Amino acid sequence: MKYFTLKASLLAMAMCWISFSATAQFMVTGKVKDTNDEPLIGVSILVKGTTRGTVSDFDGSFRIEAPGTAASLEFSYTGFRQELQEVSATNNNIEVVMTEDITNLEEIVVTGLASSIKRSNLANAVSTVSSKELTGVTTQQTIDGALYGKLTGVNIVQTTGAPGGGIAMRLRGVSSLTGNNQPLFIIDGVYVSNAEIPSGLRFASGANAGNEEGASNRIADLNPADIESIEVLKGASAAAIYGTRANAGVVIITTKKGASGQTKVSLEQDLGFNSAINLVGRRSFTAEQVEAEFSAAERQKFEAAQAAGKVYDYEKEIYGEKGLISDTRLKVAGGNNKTTFFASGAFRNEDGIIKYTGYDRLTLRLNLSHEISDNLRLTTSTNYVNSYSNRGFTGNENEGGLSYGYNLAFTRDWVDLFPDENGVYPDNPNTAGNPIFVRDKTKNEERINRMIQGIKLDWTALQRDNYALRFALNGGLDFFLNETFVYVPETHQAQRNKDNGFIGAGKNKVYNYNYQAFGVFDYYTGNNISFSTQAGISYLNFERDLVFNKTTQLIPLQTNLTQGGTQEITQRLESEEEFGIVAQEEVNIDDKIILTAGIRLDKSSLNGDPNKYFAFPRASVAVNIANFDFWKINAINQFKLRAAYGQTGNSAAFGSLFTSMTPTNISGTSGFIVNTQQGNPGIEPETSTELEFGADFSMFQSKLGLEITYYQRNVENLLYQRSLPTSSGFTNEIRNDLDLKNNGLEVSLQLNPVRTSKINWTSGVNFWFNRSEITRLGIKGEGDANDIPSFVPPGVAFGLGLGTFYIDEGSPITSLWGSGPVQVGDVEPDFQLGWFNQLTLMKNLDFNFLVHWKQGGDVLNLTRLLTDLGATTPREFGNLEGFIEDASYFRLREIGLFYTIPMGDKFLESIRLGVSGRNLLTLTDYSSYDPEVSTKGGGGLSNSIEVAPFPSAKQAYFHLSLNF
Amino acid sequence: MKYINLSILALLLLAIQACTIDDQADPNGPSINSVLNNASRAELNLLVAGTESAMRVGWDGYVTATGSIARELYLFDADPRNTEDLLGKEGTALDANTFYLTGPYNTRYRVVKNCNLLLGALDNTSSVSEAEKDGYRAFANTIKGLMMFQVLNMLNDNGIRVDVADPKNLGPFVTKAEAFTAIRGILDEGYAQLNGADFAFSLSEGFAGFDSPTTFGEFNRALAAKVALYAGDNAAALTHLNNSFFDLNGDLKTGPKHVFSTSSGDILNPVYKAPGQSGDQIIVHNDYIADAEAGDARLQKFGLRLNPTSQDGLNGTHETRLYGSNVSPIDIIRNEELILIYAEASARTDKVNDALTALNRIRLEHNLNPLQGTPTSAALLDDVLFQRRYSFWSEGQYMFDLRRFGRLNDTFLPIDRPGDIIHTQFPIPLTEGQ
C-alpha cells in the first residue's frame, strides 16, 4: 500500500503545479485519408508529449485543442504508418494522408490488464490476428481452428473432425501435464470457459475415460465473424500479468464495435459442403484371398455376396457423405457521437461427413459503447449462443460396438449390414456392433445455451496536459448449460441381454464470473519521457455442476430417463476462486527505450493453502535503435532489440487436494471404497519462467517487416500424476517435482512486394519450432537413491506395448516410447511454416490463400493396429512396420477468391461474391485420415495418437454478401 | 481529488480483505480422514459393503487373462493383446504395464486397501463394541487374505507385497514362500478374531449362510484349506477342510458368491457374455470339446455357435454359457472345490480311498462313470486335474492348477499357432518400480 500513497502524493504535487500554469490554447481541425482518398475512421490523434487525444470520426474529420502556439500531432492507426504533423495557431486546418504498413507498427497491443502499447514499442512477440486474416479468406468453423498457420509458436491438434469443435491449441510447447494445457481465453474482458465436457458415452462404449469421447471444446460457441482481432500472448514473459491462469498462454479476443456515423448493414450468406479430406480405403479381396485370410466357409459367404452384388465399401458408406453447410450472418453497426453499437445475428448449419451428424449454432451479439460524460465511458458486450450437435460415435472404445472406425476395422465388406424389409438390422458377426445400425439409430447429442456478458467502465478521473489518471472497472460472466444426450437402443447387439439399452443424459452447468478494478496513471515529463503506472485487483470465480443421469435396462423404444429398470445419477461439483493483486510500471524514453516491470500476486482455492500469495514478476526492455539520432540508414525505418522476462503459474486441477471415498453398491446396499487418486493437501502451483529475446526490423517504407524471437521457457515444479505402486491401493498421486524446458525460434516475415493502385500483394511467412526436454525428475537435492524413475503418465495412451508418452529425464516430453522402454518417436514437429497471401487486383478482386507446412512430428496410428487385426488395412499399407508414422504434411489450408461489385446505390452499397475452401489440398505420407489428430482429447500430453477418429473434413463454399 | 484517491484506496483494501478464500473440502465425497477418525457404525458398514462390492471389479480380466494363458478360452474382442500377448504370439512376453495384468492387480489391491482402512478405522473408533470390532476385523482379514492369494497366483515366483498399509512406506516384495506364510497368517488371524465376535454388519445375499461369525469362519477355513493346498501343506489343507463348509455328500454349489444386480450403482456379472454376441465373446478352446468324456454334464457350459468364429488365426466352435444371465452370481469358493481339494490333498498324502471317494462323487454328479478299481495316487491326481479343468472352466483356476501340477508348458498344452509360447506367471507391474 506504500505504493499507493506515493502515487497519491505524486498526483497531489502534479495538481499543485498545474494550477499555476494557465496556458494559451488553439483549436486544430482536419481530415485523415488513406492513399486511395478514402476517409479513415477511428484514427487516434495525439498532441505529442501530452495526454490530449481524440479520434477521427466516420468521415475522417477531427477536432483537437492543442496547448501553446505550436505543437506536433501524432496520427496513428492500426495497419498504417504513424504520421507526424506540425500545427500552429495559424496552420490549424490540415489534411493528413496515411500510408499502409504491413508490419503493423502502429497496432495497439494489450499488454497489461488495463493498458496497451503500440507494437513498435512492444518488448514481446505478441501475435495478432485481425478479422481479415481470421475470416477474410474463408468461413471458419471455429475460432481456434481458424488460427492455425496464421501465427508463430502455436500447435493445434484436432481431437475430432465432427462439426462443432474439438480442438486443442498449444502455445510454445507443453506447459502442463495435468490440467488443461490450453491457453486462457479472454473475450472482451470475460474469462470464458473452453471446457471439454464429455457426454458420458464411455459408459456405453467402454472407452477408458471422458477424454476419449471426442467432446467439443466450448470456444466453438463463438461466431468467428464477430471477432475484430485476436492477440495471443504465447509465453510467460508476455502473459505474466495474468498470473496463475496463464501458464499455457493467453488468447485475448476483441469483438467488433460500431463506429459513429451512418448505420452499416451487411447480410452475408455462405453455402458449402463438407467432405472427408481423405478416406483410407479398405482391403481388396479375391475369393482366394478371403479363404487364405479367414476360412473356406468365409469364402463361400464372400462368393455368395459377390454373386448377389452385395459387396460394399462400408468406409465410404459411413464417412462418404457430403454435408451441406449454410452460414447466414446479419450485422448492423453504427452510432452517434455518444453511443455506438454493433449487433449481429448468425446461424450456421453444418452437416457432417457421417449421415445424421451435424451442428447448428445460433449466435446473437450486441456490443454497446456509450459516453456517459466526457470522461466516463460504458462498454458492454452481450453474446448469446444456442447450439446443437449430433456427433456420432468415434474414437476408442472397448466392446461397445459403437465407434464407427473401431467397428469398421473388423467389419467385412461382404457382410450385409443393411436393414431388411421389416427394418431389422442384422447383427455384425465379426465385431460388437453394426455401424449402419449405429449411424441410423443411436444419438450422441450436445446442446448449449450460453450467455457471455462483459461490462466495462472507463473513467478518466483526471486529465491534464502531462498526466492523466484513469480507472477501468470491468466484470464478466460466462454461463452455460450443456446438455448431453446419448442413446443406444436396447436392440443394439452389444446391449441385448446385458444393459439392454442405454440413455445417458448430462446436465452440466458452468458459471464463471470475474471482475477487475484498475487504476492507471500516465505521466509525461517535459523531455519526452513518459511513465505509465498501473495497479489493480482481479478476482475470478468458476463453478461447475456436472450431473450425469444414466438409465439402462430400457423399456423398448423409450428414450426417456424414467423408462428403464436401472437408473443412476452421478454428480460432480467443482469450484475455483482466485484473487490477484497487480502492479506494473512502464517507462518510455522518447520511443527509444521502453522499460516495463510488473508483478502479480495470486492466491487460489486450488492451492493447498488457499490464502497464500504466489508472486509472478515480469520485466522487459525494448530498444528502438532506429529511433536514435545516430541511426542513418533510411531504408530501415525500424530496428528494435528486445528482451523480456516473466513468470506465470498454474494451479492443480480441482480435486487434487483431496483423498476421498467413492460410492459403490452391491445388490442395493451402498458402500464406499477409497478413490484411486491420492490427493496432496499441500499442493502449490507449477510455474513457468520465460526469457525471450528478439529483434524486429521494418524496411523500405514498411514494405518489409521481420520479427525474430527466441525463447526459453522453463516450467518448474510441474504438476503431474504419477502412477503409484498400485499395491498401495492408489493408482496415482499428484506430485510436482518435475522440471521441463521448452525453447524455440519464431520468425515472422511480412512483405508487400507490389503496391500499386491496381495491384496490392501482401505476403506473410511464419516459421517456428519448439524443442522440449525434461530437465529434472525427482526431489531437488536428494540423491539418486531417492530419484523418481522414469514413468508412463496415467491415461495418456495405451501402455508401452503399443507406444506411449513416457517421462524420462533428458528426453523430450513429447517423445513416444515403446516396450523396453525405448524411444520410438516424437510428436513435436521439426518446424512449421505458414505462408499467407493477400492479393487485391483493381481494388475489387481479392485473392487470398494460406498454405501450411508441418515438417516432422510423429503420430501413433493405432487405427491401423485395429484394421490389421480385422484384416481391413488396405494392401498398400500392408507392409508398414510399426504404428509410429511420420506425420509431416503440406496443406492448402485456406483459399478464397472474392469480387466486390460497388453499386454506388444509396440503398445497396456493394455486393460481394466469392468462392473459397478450407483444407482443399493435403500432401502427406501419413497413411490414415488426417495427421492432425488426438484421440485423448485436448488436455495434458494428449496429442498425435490416433484411434478410429471422426475423419477430418474439407470445406468448399460459395459466398454472397450484401452491404447496405 | 484526495477524496477520490482515498475512497479508491479504501475500496481496494476492502476488496483485498473481503477476499479470504475458504479452506477447501471435497464436495464430491467423504474424505479418507473422516473414516480414519472415530468412524461411525454406518461408515464401518459402508466400508464392508464397499469391500464386498469392489472384490467383483476386475474379476473378468482375471478370468480371461489366466484362462487364455491356460488355453481354456480366448477372449475375442477388439483388443489385439488378448490374442497376442496372452498367447505369446511369436514369442511375445507379457507386458508389465498392460490391462491384463494391471486390471486384476490394481483392483485386488484396492480391496486390500479398503480392508486396511477398515482395520485402521477400528483401531481409532469407539462407536462399536470390542466384539463387534473383532467381527469387522475378521471380515477384513479374510477378504484381504483372499485378495493377496489371488495376486500371488498371478505373480507366483515374483512374489508380492504383503505389507501395504502405509502407502508412503510399502513393504518389500516377499518371496512366494513368505507370501504364503503371510497370507495363511492373515487368514488365521481373521479366523481367531471370529472367536467371540459379533457381526454388526450385514453382507449381501451372496453370503447367505455364511454371514454369522460361525458360518463366516467356515468360509475363512475353506480359503485357508485352498491356500494350504497351493502352499503344498496337504495336512493343513485337510485339517482346515474339517472346519470349513466342506461336505462330501452335500450340494456341490454351496458356498459364498459374488452377486450382481441392476440396482443403481451396482454392476452386472462381468464374465457373462450374451449368447451369439460377436466382437466381445469368450470362446471355448476347441480342446475342451475334443477332450471331454462323453456325457459330461459340464459341457452345458459351452454353447455351440451358429457360426464358428475366428480371429487372429484362432478358431472356436463354442462360446461361454457359464452364466445364464447378466445377474447370475459368481462363486467365490464352493463345496465342489472343497471336495476336489480333499481329493487332491488325500491323493498327495496317499489316502487313495479318500481321494477316490471324493473324485467319484464329482464324476457321478456330472454324469460320468466312476473310476474303477484302485488307481494309483498319480492316476488320481491326473483325474483331479481333469475334473478341475472342467468344473472350474473360466473361473480363474486352471492356469494355477497346471502350474501346481508342473504342466503349464507346451508338453501338456496345445500350441494353436506356430510361434506361440506359454506364459507361466505375470511380471511385477511396472508401477511397482521393482
| Separation in Å, CA of A421 to nearest CA in chain B | 23
CA A941, CA A374: separation in Å to the nearest integer?
A: 51
- Residues of the domain holding A55: 2-100
pLDDT at residue A156 greater than cutoff 60:
yes
CA A139, CA A150: separation in Å to the nearest integer?
A: 15
Contacts of B114 in chain A (CB under 8 A): 673-674, 729
Residue bearing the bigger pLDDT, A5 or A959: A959
CA B384, CA B362: separation in Å to the nearest integer?
A: 10
pLDDT at residue B427 greater than cutoff 50:
yes
Give me the residue from B95, B116, B276 closest to A799, CB to CB. B95
Q: In sequence order, what are the beta bridge partners of A479?
A: A451, A511
A401 shares contact with chain B (CB less than 8 Å): yes
Interface with chain B: mutation pick from A521, A654, A661, A788, highest number of B CBs within 10 Å: A661
CA A51, CA A48: separation in Å to the nearest integer?
A: 8
A467 shares contact with chain B (CB less than 8 Å): no
pLDDT tens digits, one per residue of B370-425: 998 889 999 999 999 999 999 999 999 999 999 999 999 999 999 999 999 999 99
DSSP H/E element including B65: helix B59-69
Q: Are residues A905 and A868 in the same domain?
A: yes
Q: Compute CA distances B38 → B24, B131, B286, whole Å.
A: 21, 17, 56
CA B123, CA B118: separation in Å to the nearest integer?
A: 9
Using an 8 Å Cβ cutoff, are B394 and B73 in contact? yes
pLDDT band of A714, cuts 50, 70, 90: very high
pLDDT tens digits, one per residue of A780-793: 766 655 677 888 88
Q: Are residues A663 and A793 in the same domain?
A: yes
Q: Judge: domain B32-271+326-432, CATH 1.25.40.390.
A: yes
CA A142, CA A134: separation in Å to the nearest integer?
A: 10
Q: Are residues A363 and A215 in the same domain?
A: yes
Give me the residue from A462, A574, A665 closest to B53, CB to CB. A665
| Separation in Å, CA of B302 to nearest CA in chain A | 18
Q: Are residues A510 and A634 in the same domain?
A: yes
Domain end point (choices A60, A84, A100) = A100
Instruction: Tell me what the mean pLDDT of segment A454-480 comes to.
Output: 90
* CB within 8 Å: B24 and A610: yes
Nearest CA in chain B to A793: B431
Instruction: Tell me what the mean pLDDT of segment A876-898 comes to.
Output: 90
pLDDT value at position A213? 87
| Helical pair B41-54 and B99-122, crossing angle rounded to 10 deg | 160
Which of A370-374, B127-131, B203-207, B394-398 has the weakest average pLDDT?
A: A370-374
pLDDT tens digits, one per residue of A40-68: 887 888 888 777 888 888 778 888 888 88
* CB within 8 Å: B307 and A869: no
pLDDT value at position A921? 94
User: Could you tell me what percent of chain A has a pLDDT over 90?
Assistant: 54
CA A186, CA A222: separation in Å to the nearest integer?
A: 12
* CB within 8 Å: A726 and B105: yes
| Separation in Å, CA of B385 to nearest CA in chain A | 32
CA angle in degrees (0–180, nearest 5) for A661-A662-A665:
125
A579 shares contact with chain B (CB less than 8 Å): yes
Instruction: Tell me what the mean pLDDT of segment B9-28 comes to.
Output: 71
DSSP H/E element including A479: strand A467-488
H, E, C per residue of A246-265: CCCCEEEEEECCCCCEEEEE
pLDDT value at position A961? 92
**pTM metric for this prediction:** 0.87
CATH of the domain at A256: 2.40.170.20
pLDDT, averaged across chain B:
92
pLDDT at residue A209 greater than cutoff 70:
yes
What secondary structure does DSSP assign to B133-172, as a single string? HHHHHHHHHHHHHHHHHHHHHHHGGG-EE---S-TTSPPP
* CB within 8 Å: B12 and A297: no
Domain end point (choices A85, A100, A115) = A100
| Tally of CB atoms within 10 A around A759 | 14
DSSP H/E element including B315: strand B314-320
Closest by Cα among B111, B47, B49 to A667: B49
Nearest CA in chain A to B103: A726
Contacts of A682 in chain B (CB under 8 A): none
Q: Are residues A69 and A163 in the same domain?
A: no
Using an 8 Å Cβ cutoff, are A54 and A65 in contact? no
* CB within 8 Å: A727 and B35: no
pLDDT tens digits, one per residue of A276-335: 999 999 999 999 999 988 888 889 999 999 999 999 999 999 999 999 999 999 999 998
Exposed, middle or buried, A434 (CB in 10 Å: 0-12/13-18/19+)? buried
pLDDT tens digits, one per residue of B218-266: 999 999 999 999 999 999 999 999 999 999 999 999 999 999 998 888 9
Domain end point (choices A62, A81, A100) = A100
User: Could you tell me what percent of chain B has a pLDDT over 90?
Assistant: 82
**Nine cell digits for residue B106:** 490394481
pLDDT at residue A866 greater than cutoff 60:
yes
Contacts of B182 in chain A (CB under 8 A): none
Please name the residues in contact with A550: beta carbons below 8 A apart, sequence gap of 6 or more.
A200, A203, A502, A503, A504, A505, A567, A568, A569, A570
pLDDT tens digits, one per residue of A106-140: 677 766 677 777 788 888 888 888 888 888 888 88
pLDDT at residue B7 greater than cutoff 60:
no
A675 shares contact with chain B (CB less than 8 Å): yes
DSSP H/E element including A867: helix A862-869
| Helical pair B352-365 and B377-391, crossing angle rounded to 10 deg | 30
pLDDT value at position A272? 95
Q: Which of A79-83, A341-345, A805-809, A907-911 has the highest mean pLDDT?
A: A341-345
Q: Are residues A522 and A595 in the same domain?
A: yes
pLDDT, averaged across chain A:
88
Nearest CA in chain B to A6: B5
pLDDT value at position B182? 97
pLDDT value at position A21? 42
Which of A404-413, A682-691, A938-947 has the weakest average pLDDT?
A: A938-947
pLDDT band of A22, cuts 50, 70, 90: very low
Give me the residue from A11, A517, A726 closest to B109, CB to CB. A726
B415 shares contact with chain A (CB less than 8 Å): no
CA B43, CA B234: separation in Å to the nearest integer?
A: 40
pLDDT value at position A96? 87
Residue A411 lies in a domain: no
Which of A7-21, A269-283, A863-877 has the weakest average pLDDT?
A: A7-21
CA A431, CA A452: separation in Å to the nearest integer?
A: 45
Exposed, middle or buried, A473 (CB in 10 Å: 0-12/13-18/19+)? middle
Alpha-helical (H) ranges within A32-95 are: none
Which of A85-99, B71-85, B166-180 has the weakest average pLDDT?
A: A85-99
Instruction: Tell me what the mean pLDDT of segment A691-720 comes to.
Output: 91
pLDDT band of B303, cuts 50, 70, 90: very high
pLDDT band of A5, cuts 50, 70, 90: very low
pLDDT at residue B6 greater than cutoff 60:
no
pLDDT at residue A265 greater than cutoff 70:
yes
Q: Are residues A95 and A131 in the same domain?
A: no
pLDDT at residue B277 greater than cutoff 50:
yes
> Does residue A318 come out as left (phi exceeding 0), alpha (psi in the -120 to 50 range) or beta?
alpha
Domain count, chain A: 2
pLDDT tens digits, one per residue of A839-864: 999 888 999 999 999 999 999 999 99
A190-192/A184-187 β-pairing: antiparallel
Instruction: Tell me what the mean pLDDT of segment A527-534 comes to.
Output: 88
* CB within 8 Å: A667 and B260: yes
pLDDT value at position A624? 92
Residue bearing the bigger pLDDT, A258 or A382: A382
Asked if residue A821 has a cis previous peptide bond (ω within 30° of 0), the answer is yes
CATH of the domain at A7: 2.60.40.10
* CB within 8 Å: B264 and A655: no
pLDDT value at position A6? 40
Instruction: Tell me what the mean pLDDT of segment A632-654 comes to.
Output: 90
Domain ranges for chain B, please list them.
32-271+326-432
pLDDT band of B347, cuts 50, 70, 90: very high
* CB within 8 Å: B15 and A517: yes
Residue bearing the bigger pLDDT, B15 or B119: B119
pLDDT value at position A754? 86
Using an 8 Å Cβ cutoff, are A915 and A236 in contact? no
Q: Are residues A929 and A854 in the same domain?
A: yes
pLDDT at residue B10 greater than cutoff 70:
no
What three-state secondary structure class fits A245? Answer: helix
What secondary structure does DSSP assign to A375-399, as a single string? TEEEEEEEEEEEEEEE----S--SS
* CB within 8 Å: B265 and A568: yes
Taking only residues 721 to 750 of chain A, the set having a beta carbon closer than 8 angstroms to any beta carbon of chain B reads 723-731
What three-state secondary structure class fits B25? Answer: coil
CA A329, CA A341: separation in Å to the nearest integer?
A: 16
Taking only residues 926 to 955 of chain A, the set having a beta carbon closer than 8 angstroms to any beta carbon of chain B reads none
Which of A113-127, A278-292, B109-123, B328-342 has the weakest average pLDDT?
A: A113-127
A786 shares contact with chain B (CB less than 8 Å): no
pLDDT tens digits, one per residue of A337-347: 889 999 999 99
